[in-house]
Amino acid sequence: MSTAAAPVPPARHTDATPPPRPPSPHRLASGPQGADALRPLLATVLDALHTGDRTRGGPLPAGGPEAVTARIREAVGDVLPEDGDPTALAVLVHAFAEHAADPAHPLCAAHLHCPPLAVATAADLAATALNPSLDSWDQAPAATALETLVTRALARLAGAADALVTTGGTEANQLALLLAREAHGPGVRLVTGANAHHSLTRAAWLFGLPEPVVLPAPAGTLDPAALEEALTRLPGPVLVAATAGTTDAGLVDPLPEIAARCAAHHARLHIDAAYGAGLLFSDRHRTTLTGLDAADTITLDLHKLGWQPIAAGLFAVKNPDDLAPLGQRTDYLNADDDTDAGLPDLLGRSLRTTRRPDILKIAVTLKTLGRTGLGALVDQVCAHARHFAALVDAHPRFELHAPPTISTVLFRPAHTTDATVAAVRRTLLTEGRAVLGRARLDGRLWLKATLLNPHTRPEDLATLLTLVEGHTPR
Ligand SMILES: Cc1ncc(COP(=O)(O)O)c(C=O)c1O
């Protein structure tokens, strides 16, 4: 046995004198000085968020697009000045916050646009600072391992086997159509309801698929009898896309009936649960999604009912082999010999190349709140919707479309025209008083309240109704 001393590994940094500290705007967000560089900047950002919110004082800025554009132009000044301006962070973040539509304001309730949890937002900062990119393992060792664990767990929650991270529901729906085309050939035809999200028919156009069949959905959901008739009539392979949580009304298609018809006709089934998937966290509301596990592919989106900063989409598959067509080889990212040597091959987990670790904020949220913590938030927003619907229903000057299924309430002032409904919404927007959506259902225009803020109080909902009433001409 040799008695020679073990070789000393080379020092990781051979230059004994540290490099000179760069001027503060040139400092980097990660590395040994990253936290020190960020700390004062974060204090500036947090102060500007606070002062911006206070100056706005409502859910969105008053004055409409013209006023906002003028104010932002003034704050930016020269977009690319010859010399830098150290106050840019404070000035622009303040203006950005002051002129934002803040989804955390209880009167901001138009879209599937949730207020993100602080803990998720903080985690997202770490993702941004370290800047891993999930197109190769050598750029994202931790993110790779985390994404693998978390996507599998979320896929299992939805009754699927694997899931990819997407930029949202649109990209997930696009993957559903692309993989249906790969599985069934370019003649596969999309059959969906008029209640489905526009990204589905757009994806059919994008991928050159046959003209989709869009079935009327007068009740707001896909009618299984109309689907049966279409499946019987149509030649060739079919992809049926059902919706669990419609954009306009938060309705859930009759998933078990649709799944049974797809099975009988050997049609592939995609379920767009971009909105509804969050119900999976709730003991009380999970059964609304009964039948979801029959889908071949599922869209989930935690920047809707999941309190994540954008982006936080997922695309789940029942059969992991369906993902094979996304495989791609390029020597600089996943050379065969690297893969053979055990480096994970990630390129086939997205159509994107450079890809943010959106999984970190999701993982932190799941672990911090747990399923029951997230389920409680789901239960709260669903309860808010029921409460708001009850207020509308009890009010003689309002009409309720239907009791809510998730957290969307459609309502309108009674005895008014569609033009008045549209004008009320725009006036509330331009005065900066409330952000409500709009939806056309049953041939009429409705105001849409999409309630995604778990901390909204009953009095906020009463205020919302009073505001609409006050802005409706008698
Ligand atoms: C049912 C449904 N699917 C898909 C989408 C698209 O999601 P994203 O905007 O995240 O792309 C939406 C958006 O609201 C939606 O409501």
pLDDT digits (tens, 9 = 90+) for 374-384: 999 999 999 99
CB of 405 within 6 A of ligand 1: the answer is no
383: left (phi over 0), alpha (psi -120 to 50) or beta: alpha
CB of 124 within 6 A of ligand 1: the answer is no
Cβ–Cβ under 8 Å, residues 72 and 99: yes
What pLDDT does residue 15 have?
54
- Closest by CA position to 411, among listed 426, 430, 427, 396: 396
Question: Averaged over 336-353, what is the pLDDT?
Answer: 97
- Closest by CA position to 368, among listed 37, 121, 10: 121
Q: Is the pLDDT assigned to residue 10 strictly greater than 80?
A: no
**19/233: higher pLDDT:** 233
Q: Which residues contact 317 (CB under 8 A, 6 or more apart)?
A: 155, 160, 161, 162, 163, 179, 296, 297, 298, 323
Peptide bond into 402 cis (omega under 30): no
Q: Is the pLDDT assigned to residue 277 strictly greater than 70?
A: yes
Measured CA to CA, the distance from residue 247 to residue 229 in angstroms comes to: 25
The owner of tokens 């079935």 is 215
CA of 245 to the centre of ligand 1 (A): 10
**pLDDT tens digits, one per residue of 423-463:** 999 999 999 999 999 999 999 999 999 999 999 999 999 99
Strand-strand pairing, 408-413 and 435-441: unpaired
Measured CA to CA, the distance from residue 341 to residue 160 in angstroms comes to: 29
Q: What is the pLDDT of the chain when averaged over all its residues?
A: 96
CB of 192 within 6 A of ligand 1: the answer is no
Name the E strands within 208-354. Answer: 213-215, 238-243, 268-273, 297-301, 313-317
**pLDDT tens digits, one per residue of 26-46:** 999 999 999 999 999 999 999
- Could you tell me the pLDDT band of residue 22, with boundaries at 50, 70 and 90? confident
CB of 301 within 6 A of ligand 1: the answer is yes
Measured CA to CA, the distance from residue 41 to residue 128 in angstroms comes to: 14
**pLDDT tens digits, one per residue of 245-264:** 999 999 999 999 999 999 99
Q: Which of 177, 304, 408 for a ligand 1 pocket mutation test, highest count of atoms within 8 Å of Cβ? A: 304
Q: Is the pLDDT assigned to residue 14 strictly greater than 80?
A: no
**pLDDT tens digits, one per residue of 304-318:** 999 999 999 999 999
What pLDDT does residue 474 have?
87
Q: Please provide residue 48's backbone torsions phi and psi, each rounded to the nearest 5 degrees.
A: -70, -35
Tokens standing for residue 106: 């209880």
- Could you tell me the pLDDT band of residue 16, with boundaries at 50, 70 and 90? low
**138/11: higher pLDDT:** 138
CB of 247 within 6 A of ligand 1: the answer is yes
Question: Averaged over 119-123, what is the pLDDT?
Answer: 98
CB of 106 within 6 A of ligand 1: the answer is no
Minimum-distance ligand 1 atom for the alpha carbon of 247: 16
Cβ–Cβ under 8 Å, residues 123 and 448: no
Closest Cα to atom 12 of ligand 1: 169
Question: Averaged over 219-246, what is the pLDDT?
Answer: 98
**What structural domains and CATH numbers belong to the chain?**
34-76+87-101 (no CATH), 118-368 (3.40.640.10), 370-470 (3.90.1150.10)
Measured CA to CA, the distance from residue 28 to residue 34 in angstroms comes to: 6
Measured CA to CA, the distance from residue 215 to residue 193 in angstroms comes to: 5
Measured CA to CA, the distance from residue 299 to residue 16 in angstroms comes to: 53
CA of 450 to the centre of ligand 1 (A): 13
Strand-strand pairing, 268-273 and 238-243: parallel
CB of 306 within 6 A of ligand 1: the answer is no
CB of 112 within 6 A of ligand 1: the answer is yes
Tokens standing for residue 44: 């500036």
Beta bridge partners of 435: 108
Beta bridge partners of 474: none
What pLDDT does residue 6 have?
52
Beta bridge partners of 238: 189
Q: Is the pLDDT assigned to residue 20 strictly greater than 90?
A: no
CB of 358 within 6 A of ligand 1: the answer is no
Instruction: Provide the whole-model pTM.
Output: 0.95
Q: Is the pLDDT assigned to residue 132 strictly greater than 90?
A: yes
CA of 430 to the centre of ligand 1 (A): 25
CA of 274 to the centre of ligand 1 (A): 6
Q: Is the pLDDT assigned to residue 2 strictly greater than 50?
A: no
CB of 176 within 6 A of ligand 1: the answer is no
Measured CA to CA, the distance from residue 261 to residue 423 in angstroms comes to: 43
In the chain, what percentage of residues exceed pLDDT 90?
Answer: 95
Cβ–Cβ under 8 Å, residues 71 and 421: no
Minimum-distance ligand 1 atom for the alpha carbon of 111: 14
- Could you tell me the pLDDT band of residue 24, with boundaries at 50, 70 and 90? confident
Angle subtended by helix axes 118-130 and 34-56, to nearest 10: 140
What pLDDT does residue 1 have?
37
- Closest by CA position to 91, among listed 73, 103, 107: 73
Q: Is the pLDDT assigned to residue 341 strictly greater than 60?
A: yes
**pLDDT tens digits, one per residue of 139-190:** 999 999 999 999 999 999 999 999 999 999 999 999 999 999 999 999 999 9
CB of 450 within 6 A of ligand 1: the answer is no
Nearest 5°: the CA angle 9, 12, 18 is 145
CB of 174 within 6 A of ligand 1: the answer is no
